[in-house]
Amino acid sequence: MTTAPAEAATTIDRFLDGRVTIEQPAKGRHRAGLDAVLLAALVPAAARGRLVDLGAGVGTAGFCAAARVPGIDVVLAERDETALRLAEANARRSENAAFGARVGVVAVDLLRRGAARDAALPRESFDHAIVNPPFFAADEVRASPSGARARAHVFAEGDLDAWMRVAASVLAPRGRLAMIFKGDGLAEVLAALDRRFGAVTIRPVHPRAEAPAHRLLVTAIKGSRARPAILPGLVLHPPGSDLYLEVAEAVLRGRATLAGDP
pLDDT (tens place) for every residue of the chain, 262 residues total: 455 444 459 999 999 999 999 999 988 667 889 999 999 999 999 999 999 999 999 999 999 999 999 999 999 999 999 999 999 999 999 999 999 999 999 999 999 999 999 999 999 999 999 999 997 554 444 444 444 444 444 455 458 999 999 999 999 999 999 999 999 999 999 999 999 999 999 999 999 999 999 999 999 999 999 999 999 999 999 999 999 999 999 999 999 999 976 5
Does 8 fall in a domain? no
Q: Residues in the chain, how many?
A: 262
Exposed/middle/buried for residue 33 (C-beta within 10 Å: 0-12, 13-18, 19+)? middle
Residue 5 inside a domain? The answer is no
- Whether residue 12 is contained in a domain is answered as no
Q: What CATH number did the domain enclosing 219 receive? A: 3.40.50.150
Is 86 a member of any domain? yes
Is residue 159 packed enough to be buried (19+ CB in 10 Å), middle (13-18) or exposed (0-12)? middle
Residue 19 maps to a domain: no
Q: Answer whether residue 14 is part of any domain.
A: no
SS3 label, residue 216: strand
3-state secondary structure of 253: coil
Q: Which of 139, 127, 24 is nearest to 78 (CA)?
A: 24
Is 18 within a domain? no
pLDDT of residue 204: 98
On whether residue 2 sits in a domain, the answer given is: no
Q: Could you tell me the residue range of the domain that residue 201 belongs to?
A: 30-252
Query: pTM higher than 0.95 for the full model?
Result: no
Looking at the 3D structure of the chain, how many domains does it have?
Answer: 1
Distance from C-alpha of 249 to C-alpha of 117, rounded to nearest angstrom: 38
CB-based contact 220:199 (threshold 8 Å)? yes
